[in-house]
């Protein structure tokens, strides 16, 4: 019985303070990243294009509005990162 009372009190407090600026957002950064990764997974294009799409989604940039020059610059910038190297070893197997 006490648990039911506590749940009602907590729900009322949550509803009363839902719009407060200190309230936690409805979606977390992890949820947004998961959604963006799923969208990029379905994107048809090269690995570099997928990276550009992912970064654009994370930054709130509409990928379709990028000019060809802007796209090429983003690719060049991403290629400078050590973390965006090729996922498969380029060494020949002997």
pLDDT in the model for residue 25: 63
- Top-ranked range on mean pLDDT: pick from 24-38, 58-72, 75-89: 58-72
List all residues 6 or more positions away from 57 whose beta carbon is below 8 Å from its beta carbon: 36, 39, 40, 63
Tell me the per-residue pLDDT of 13-25, one tens digit each, with 9 for 90 and over. Answer: 888 887 776 656 6
CA 2 to chain centre: 40
Tell me the per-residue pLDDT of 56-77, one tens digit each, with 9 for 90 and over. Answer: 988 899 988 999 999 999 888 8
Average pLDDT over residues 37-47: 87
């Amino acid at each position: 019985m006490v648990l039911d009372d506590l749940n009602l009190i907590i729900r009322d407090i949550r509803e009363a303070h839902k719009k407060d600026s200190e309230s936690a957002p409805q979606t977390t950064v992890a949820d947004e990243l998961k959604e963006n990764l799923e969208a990029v997974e379905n994107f048809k294009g090269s690995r570099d294009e997928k990276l550009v799409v992912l970064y654009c989604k994370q930054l709130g940039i509409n990928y379709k509005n990028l000019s060809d020059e802007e796209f090429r610059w983003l690719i060049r910038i991403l290629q400078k990162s050590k973390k965006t190297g090729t996922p498969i070893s380029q060494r020949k197997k002997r």
